Amino acid sequence: MDSAGDQLIVGADVGGTFTDLIAVGADGVLHVAKVPSTPDDPGRAVLQGIKHLCADLGYASSQVALLLHGTTVATNAVLQRRGAKTALLTTRGFRDVLEIGRQSRPRLFDFDARRSEPLIPRSRRVEVLERMEASGAISTPLEAESLDQAIRALRATGAEAIAICFLHAYKNSTHEVQAEQRIHEVWPSVSVSISSKVLPEYREYERTSTTAINAFVAPVMERYLAGLKRQLQTEAVTCPVQVMQSNGGLMSVEQAVHLPAATVLSGLAAGALGGVRLAHRAKQDVVLTLDMGGTSCDLALGVGGSVPTNHAAEVDGLPIRLPALDVHTIGAGGGSIAYLDAGAALRVGPRSAGAIPGPACYGRRGTDPTVTDANLLLGRLSETGLLGGKIPLDRSRAAEAVRRIADPLGLSVEEAAAGIIRVVNAGMARQMRVLTIERGVDPRTCTLVAFGGGGPAHAVDLARELEIPTVIVPPAPGVTSALGLLLSDYRHDRIQTALLELDRTDVPREAGERLTAIYEQLEAQVLAGVREALKGENCTVVRQAEMRYIRQGHELRVAVPDGALDGASLNDVLREFDRVHAARFGYCIPEESVLLVNALATATIPSSIVMSTAISTSPQSTVPESRPVWFGGEYHQAKVYRWNALPLGRTLCGPIIIEQLDSTTVIPPGAAVGVDDQGNLLVQVGHR
Amino acid sequence: METLLDHAERRIRAAIANLPDGQFVAEDVLEGPDGFVTIRAEVEIRGSEITADFTGTDPELRAPLNCRPVTVHACLAYVTTAMLDPGASPNAGSLRPLHVHAPEGSLVNARYPASLVHSNIVTSQRICDVMIRAMFQAAPQRTIAACSGTQALLCIGGQDPVKGEPFTYIETHGGGSGASHHSDGQSAVHTHMTNTLNSPTEVLEQMFPFHVLEYGLQPDSEGAGRFHGGLGMRKSIRIDAPATMTIAADRVQSRPWGLEGGEAAAPAQLHLLRNGSRIDLKSRTTVQVGPGDVLTLVTPGGGGWGDPGDRSRDALADDLTAGLISQERARAIYSCSELRRGSGSNA
């Protein structure tokens, strides 16, 4: 291949076991690499993957023009509590906000239910005398002397990162900024996160928690990205690096260093977005994604090529109020363990055999029956094993494990294995109903996009359960997250608490002016944000508001028009709120005053990467093998195809098993499958 | 549907059957209008059934603490599930092996027109404590020491002088949870028959003529023990309007007990600061408050488990570093002599 003048764009997604990479050159063809992750220094695997790809494609590594990066460094720092030693500076009298939380416990019927430990222990939570009123007025000024005294107390904790969160700082940030500046003057080496910059939204616990998470992961993220850059430079990769956020958009490395908390849930975002955007390219508008791995299964609903954003996420029980794509995770994966509970009911998960010891059939000392064991016993997985035989599967060990639940239930091993599949599918189907029927979306209008190692084996059964007519399996189901990076936009979000009361009879001009000023400031911030990542012209800004009827406790999100807001346009916003309220709750109160709680703005620049989506392969034309596979209570002889030996342009009828490097697609009797021009499997699920 | 009910019943019966048969008695008190009121329960475990008999409980009161048997049933269902099968999805099937005997005319089976107002927020918490204490004798390692024992309800209503509108505020407050044989209780948390969220200070001050001076943990309020109970909550509010304030709490005169040598926790404290002088309040009271009055509400801690002298010195050092327990208390109650501040792992 002559590629001397070409440039390569690389997406690199770091997972727990593998680091997946996808590269696209000037011809638009995608190339895939999968290398083992290096958890001690995740950047090493990224570099190895880039070297692999370049060597395979005949590119020099200096031809890499852009690296899009999905990283779980911040996520893992929180989950494993391995972030920076962090201290908190807060208003006198409120040191324990982070510990009391919302005073609730996570499970009702459990004496051992424990709230998550705060990231900052009480001994490192320092108070300072200062106070803002709810109006933003200063009732107790922050005196230089007490600030310096508090800074000395912070230094005495030995912290390497500081979170600052003062009461009502969303309204008036003067004291927080004053404290930040003073710390920079007298203690320049420490990393500082302040709540009025991280999240200027009211409700002190959630704001403090989000700011604490940011402070806790900031030094870790900074070290990681600096190290990555150094490693890349040793291989002459000097291109810009952009980082995936939880909101499904990319940001610059510099932004990632300042707001690393925005990446904490990014691991879920890239996969869901990849699935939704692939389906959108295949002309599917309403899409459910099913990403089933070894331990868990991520599900999301996408409409028109995007996934809705959720502002009330949690990580490890700690609230994080930064926008994240609305992806639901349940404990259902290939390694999920099946057991009989005290009432002799068959249960599956959330406990997982993980990669070590792994399912019983891996022969690595695992003895509990898992979903993978059940799939193997029923002939859905090949005994040749996973990853092209690198992990052979032992059918007799699987049978031995499943017999432990089959015998007490008086079932054959196959019947018990089919029961395990039904139970794990029931959990996923329940979550699919939450995402569709419970939100007024008819699953019969949806397409199910299945990926991850396990998704394609379970997808048709699940689609039939919800009467979803079509399943799409992308060409490389095991690297959909990496592909999602190439399909992501540049995005920047910002929120500001406004707490503006809008009276129906008389929306004052002053309210319109105040709101206009808030939105103009937000717009300037988000525009500067995306343009820092990419100097694009094609930038859109969307305004939204979170509103509620006066005296309600929960907000709904409503679109807000551009430009200056006056009485007429605010009346339009109020009517739109009534409409959204009626759509969600079945009624509205058109005469009731409305509280505009938060103003939000989002700027996006769409991705301009040209790609064909088809994965480069070396087609093999082999005659399909066949093997017995258990469907509907008996064995059927199913044809077994290699994915890259599938005949193009033909429709094949189940039962069929389609095998590829990192995934197996199961097509039961009654379903039919074809391959589209993008390399997707399109399955018409038919009937049982 | 019937399958699900039967399954839940099988699960809870299997768990009950693992307990030793027998009759186990416990009692505790509430603060009534004329002194302590006794709640007594005899919990009988026989095979896969549990019967809670409240014979010996004091008669119904001319005070809003009475309750109906339905509340007692709910408490028994909660205690049984939490003790024996925390992972269960309880339904009507899991209630089948549970029985309540509540003598008519007693505090737990009051007749019309006895007041039930605080049945759910005060009396139910004590019913749980009493049944757990009884079942401690059957399965000590599945129980916990007494929790704060009151939801500490605070209700303030009046006229907002700035907005020119009437307002009503109501909130319940968490306290310490009881320690168990393997861990400390939690601090400032809702326990047993409630789990409502708090009102953030920033929301309170937006909506009401209040200024919150303090919202945190109350040091030294834990029931001492090898594992100590959780700490109570301390909240001070300045009320900037003429208003009527009602408090419905308990455990001002009694204390949440410990188990296996663990000590009782600190009781609740309720007082008003008016023009510099302190007015102590009773556990249930209605008072007029004026602009500038400061209410301080401290909820009880949770009871401890085991001898405080046996507490791990590392854990105690952490408590000291965090400022949860004072040096004086560590010396007096936890027999601590050699500890230095800052020697804990949190330092």
* Beta-carbon separation of A103 and B233 below 8 A: yes
Mode of pairing for the β-strands spanning A324-325 and A309-310 = antiparallel
In the prediction, which pLDDT does A688 show?
65
| Neighbour-count burial of A25, counting CB atoms closer than 10 A to its CB (0-12 exposed, 13-18 middle, 19+ buried) | buried
- Compute the distance between CA of residue A520 and CA of residue A503 in angstroms, rounded to an integer: 23
pLDDT band at A615 (very low <50, low <70, confident <90, very high): low
* A 160-189 near B (Cβ less than 8 A): 167-168, 170
Strands B153-160 and B243-248: antiparallel
Q: Are A104 and A98 in contact (CB under 8 A)?
A: no
Q: What per-residue confidence (pLDDT) applies to A510?
A: 83
Helix, strand, coil shares, percent, chain A, to 5: 35, 30, 35
pLDDT of residue B343: 41
B197/A104 touch (CB, cutoff 8 Å), yes or no: yes
How are strands ordered across the β-sheet holding B269-274? B210-217, B233-239, B293-298, B269-274, B277-280
> pLDDT digit string (tens) for A152-172?
999 999 999 999 999 999 999
Which B residues 137-176 touch A at CB under 8 Å?
142-144, 173-174
CA torsion A657-A660-A664-A670 (nearest 10°) is -30
Map A488-504 to HEC letters: CEEEEEEEEEEEEEECC
Helix (H) or strand (E) holding B35: strand B35-46
Q: Which pLDDT tens digit goes with each residue over B275-294?
A: 999 999 999 999 999 899 99
Asked if pLDDT for residue B220 goes beyond 90, the answer is yes
A29 CB-contact burial (10 Å; exposed 0-12 / middle 13-18 / buried 19+): middle
A123 and B83 within 8 Å at the Cβ level: the answer is no
pLDDT at residue A1 above 50? no
Nearest to B202 among A107, A158, A204 (CB): A204
The confidence score (pLDDT) of residue A537 equals: 72
A215 or A686, higher pLDDT: A215
Give the mean model confidence (pLDDT) for residues A70-91.
Answer: 94
Q: For A321-357, what is each residue's pLDDT tens digit?
A: 999 999 998 989 999 999 998 888 999 988 888 777 8
Question: How far is residue A176 CA from its own chain's centroid?
Answer: 31
Residue percentage of chain A with pLDDT more than 70: 97
A430 touches chain B (CB under 8 A): no
What is the mean pLDDT of the segment spanning B74-96?
93
The DSSP letter of residue B120 is I
Distance CA B94, CA B96 (A): 6
Which parts of A312-438 fold into alpha helices (H)?
A: 371-377, 395-409, 413-435
**Partner B contacted by A553 (CB < 8 A):** no
Q: Which residues of A touch B14 (CB under 8 A)?
A: 342-343
Q: Give whole-number Cα distances, B46 to A14, A81, A284, B43, B103, in Å.
A: 56, 46, 61, 10, 21
More confident residue, A198 or A439: A198
DSSP per-residue letters across A47-82: HHHHHHHHHHHT--GGGEEEEEEE--HHHHHHHTT-
- What does each C-alpha distance from A461 to A418, A429, A470, A667, A668 come to in angstroms? 12, 10, 11, 9, 8
Determine phi and psi for B169, rounding to 5 degrees: -120, 140
- When pLDDT is cut at 50, 70 and 90, the band that residue A536 belongs to is low
Identify the H or E element spanning A598. strand A594-605
Q: Which residues contact A679 (CB under 8 A, 6 or more apart)?
A: A474, A475, A613, A614, A615
Query: How far apart are alpha carbons A469 and A447 in whole angstroms?
Result: 7
Q: Of A541-555, B136-150, B168-182, which gets the smallest average pLDDT?
A: A541-555
SS3 of residue A632 by DSSP:
coil
pTM comes to 0.94
pLDDT tier for residue B346 given thresholds of 50, 70 and 90: very low
**Residue B259 in contact with partner chain A when CB distance is under 8 A:** no
Backbone angles phi, psi at B23, to 5 degrees: -115, 130
Residue A388 has a pLDDT of: 67
Segment A496-523 shows an average pLDDT of 89
The percentage of chain A sitting over the pLDDT mark of 90, rounded to a whole number, equals 74
* Residues across chain A: 688
Q: What pLDDT was estimated at residue B339?
A: 53
Angle at CA of residue A228, ends A227 and A231, nearest 5°: 85
Rounded to the nearest angstrom, the minimum Cα separation between B173 and chain A is: 8
Strand partners, B294: B238, B273
Strand A30-36 and strand A18-24: pairing? antiparallel
CB A571 within 8 A of CB A525: no
Percent of the residues in chain B that have a pLDDT greater than 70, as a whole number = 97
Contact A685, A289 (CB under 8 A): no
**Residues A587, A495: contact at Cβ < 8 Å?**
no
> Average pLDDT in the A70-77 region?
92
Q: Which helix (H) or strand (E) holds A278?
A: helix A266-281
Which residue in this structure is represented by tokens 């150094």?
A230
CB contacts, 8 Å: A103 with chain B? 173-174, 188-190, 196-198, 233
Q: Rounded mean pLDDT of A485-504?
A: 93
- The C-alpha of A501 sits at a distance from chain B's nearest C-alpha, in angstroms, of 12
A340 in Cβ contact with A405 (< 8 Å): yes
All residues at 6 or more sequence positions from A23 whose CB lies less than 8 Å from its CB, including other chains: A8, A9, A10, A11, A30, A31, A33, A53, A57
Q: How far is CA A297 from CA A60, A271, A333, A534, in A?
A: 37, 11, 6, 33
CA distance readout (Å), A399 to A378, A394, A402: 10, 9, 5
Question: Which of A99, A109, A119, A168 has the highest number of chain B CBs within 10 A, making it the mutation to test binding with B?
Answer: A109
CA–CA dist A343, A106 (Å, integer): 25
| pLDDT tens-place string over residues B111-123 | 999 999 999 999 9
Sign of CA dihedral A264, A265, A268, A269: negative
Would you say A556 and A583 are in contact if contact means Cβ atoms under 8 Å apart? no
Q: Do B322 and A122 touch (CB under 8 A)?
A: yes
Q: Supply the DSSP symbol for A537.
A: S
Phi-psi region of A58 (alpha: psi -120 to 50; beta: other; left: phi over 0): left
pLDDT at B141: 95
Task: Look up the ipTM and state it.
Answer: 0.95
Whether the pLDDT of residue A611 is over 80: the answer is no
Residue B235 contacts A where some CB pair is shorter than 8 Å: no
Inform me whether the pLDDT recorded for A190 exceeds 90: yes
- A113 vs B contacts (CB less than 8 Å): 86
Rounded CA separation A101/A170 (Å)? 18
Q: How many CB atoms lie within 10 A of CB A618?
A: 5
Contacts (Cβ under 8 Å, ≥6 apart) of B112: none
Distance CA B208, CA A39 (A): 51
DSSP string, A131-190: EE-TTS-EEE---HHHHHHHHHHHHHTT-SEEEEE-TTTTT--HHHHHHHHHHHHH-TTS
SS3 A688: coil
User: Per-residue pLDDT averaged across A540-557, rounded?
Assistant: 93
Q: Residues B90, B44: contact at Cβ < 8 Å?
A: no
pLDDT 10s digits, A630-648:
999 999 999 999 888 887 7
Distance CA B334, CA B112 (A): 49
User: How many CB atoms are closer than 10 A to CB B16?
Assistant: 21
The CA distance from A17 to A598, in Å, is 40
Cis peptide before A240 (omega within 30 of 0): no
Average pLDDT, chain A: 92
Do you know the residue count of chain B? Answer: 347
CB-based contact (8 Å) between B187 and chain A? yes
CB A262 within 8 Å of CB A289: no
Structure tokens at B114: 């006895």
Res A103: pLDDT: 96
* pLDDT of A293: 85
- Site of tokens 């499997």: A681
> Among all residues of chain B, which has the CA nearest to that of A100?
B188
Residue A303 has a CB neighbour count (10 Å cut-off) of 14
Interface contact B233, partner A, CB < 8 A: yes
Q: Which of A88, A94, A108, A111 to mutate to test the interface with B (most CBs of B within 10 A)?
A: A111
Measured CA to CA, the distance from residue A491 to residue A527 in angstroms comes to 9
pLDDT at A343: 83
Q: Highest mean pLDDT range out of A14-18, A508-512, B37-41?
A: B37-41
pLDDT tier at A621 (50, 70, 90 boundaries)? Answer: low
